[in-house]
Structure formats: structure tokens, C-alpha cells
Amino acid sequence: MPMPDDILPDTALDWSGLKLDGRTAVLGIIGDPVAQVKAPLPLTRLLQRRGINAVLVPLHVRAADVAPLLQTLLAVRNVAGVVVTVPHKQLVAGLPIETLRAAREARAVNVVRRKGDAWQGDLLDGAGFVSGLVRNGFDVNGRSVGLAGAGGAGNAIAFALAAAGAARIDVRDADDAKRADLVDRLRALGHAAGDWDAASPRDLLVNATPAGMRDGDPLPIAPSAIRAGQTVADVIMEPHTTPLLALAQRQGARIVHGRHMMDEQLERMADFFAEALQ
């Protein structure tokens, strides 16, 4: 008896214009949690518009399972790469993989692609975040920044802001060692940085923590730090308007949603993965 694959015509099945067949390359996006991610459909569409037969699928992975998963995926020959989201970006950067400059500087990785029988990682968060600010009319050059979060996203954003000409970047994080390490590395590259005293005014306030993703999360930035005329940006994409952004808007600040960072990253992600997919 013929199997279903023998019965179907030798053409790709098509859902909403997307191609999916035996030649489809697979990309995964790993996180914990992963239900909030927005990239799978738009990145899949972008790649397929470029003529690349690939799909991006969400994979819910605990921290202890990240290293063995990546090793196992190398054995799956049609897996071309992985997008890395919270909280695994620094964990992946610490694995024995090749990393490109942005990932090495920030010690965080948000994309890995197959390179032979190994992985090569890069970090696109920071460049995407800065592009999102620029698209929303905020010029980073010469501005002061208060940054909440010294994890993977915080590191990426800090170094990208510094490269874009931010006058000063002050950081706060619940983990004092992480905060101090980020400040020290920014200073080592000649950038003005320090601990963030929320009472001091800043041109730009950034939430680079997961706070706001779940109901009941505490605000990552104190209301007293938010002033009219500032710009407040969040990296969280779901909910679209986080409690922090809603508060900032009520207090007269301009807001930049997390979705802008992802939108600006999509083309960069497609470029990054194209080498492994063509």
C-alpha cells in the first residue's frame, strides 16, 4: 500500500502561502518560556519571500537542556540554525561555539547557524534595538541612558548604544556581579558607564529584563525615575504595551514598544541564516 507521501503530488503543501515539504530547512527558537515569541511567522514569511524554503518553529527548552539540545540538533541535517531568546542568551555564549564580534563583546548570543559540524553564533539584539529607536525618532548620539538589566539583552543593548554614541550608560540589575561586570567592560572600551541611581534624570530609560512579561511582575523601573519628555523603551513583545510603557505614557514620556526591536532584527536574522540555508 502506498504511503501518504507517495500519494501526494511532488509539490510543496501550502498553508497561507507558506511552503512546507521534505526539503524544508528547519530553524528553532529556544526560550523558557517560549509562548510569547512573535518571530516564527514573520521570519518564515521573510525567508520564503527570498526564495528560501525554511520555517522557524518555537521550542520550549529549560536551561539545563540547552547544551545537549544544540549538540543533538547538529545530527539533524536539515536543522540550519536556532534563534535564542530569554533566558538563554548568555548561557549559549558560554558554550564551546564560535562567536562573532558583537556576541563576544556582550558575551551573549541570540542566533546560531550551522557551520559544517559546529555552530557559529552572533548577537543581533543591540543593533535591532538601536534601529528601532532611530525609526521612532530617537537619536542616541550624545544621550544619557538608564538601563535596567545586565543579562543577555541588556549586554547587547548596552554595547550597541555605546557604539551609536550614547554619552553615558548607567546600569542596574538585581545581580550586583552582573551589573558590575557590564559596567567594567563598557569602561574598558572607553565608554562612560556606572551604577544607575534612579533619581538622576536620563534621556532614555530601557527595560532589558523579563519583568512585565507575566501578570503581577514588579515594575523594572521605578515610577519616580520616569519624567515627561523622556523616551522609555521596553524589550518585551508580549504584552505589546507593558505596564511600564503604559505608566510612562501616562507620565508624559515617549514610548518605544519591544516589537520594534524584533521588526528591525528580522532582515538581519534572514541575512545571518541565509549562508546556512542556501
Would you give the end-to-end CA distance of the chain in angstroms?
Answer: 36
115 is catalytic: no
Q: Give the integer Cα–Cα distance in Å for 153 and 172.
A: 13
What CA dihedral angle connects 99, 103, 107 and 113, to 10 degrees?
A: -50
Buried b (16+ CB within 10 A) or exposed e, 1-19: eeeeeeeeeeeeeeeeebb
Report the run of H or E that residue 98 belongs to, with start and end: strand 98-99
Distances in whole angstroms, Cα of residue 190 to Cα of each of 105, 158, 168, 183, 187? 13, 13, 11, 11, 5
- What cell numbers appear for 145 in the block? 541612558
Catalytic site residue from 19, 38, 89, 115? 89
Distances in whole angstroms, Cα of residue 266 to Cα of each of 31, 127, 260, 273? 18, 11, 10, 11
Q: Are 12 and 20 in contact (CB under 8 A)?
A: yes
Q: Helix, strand, or coil here: 111? A: strand
> Catalytic amino acids?
89
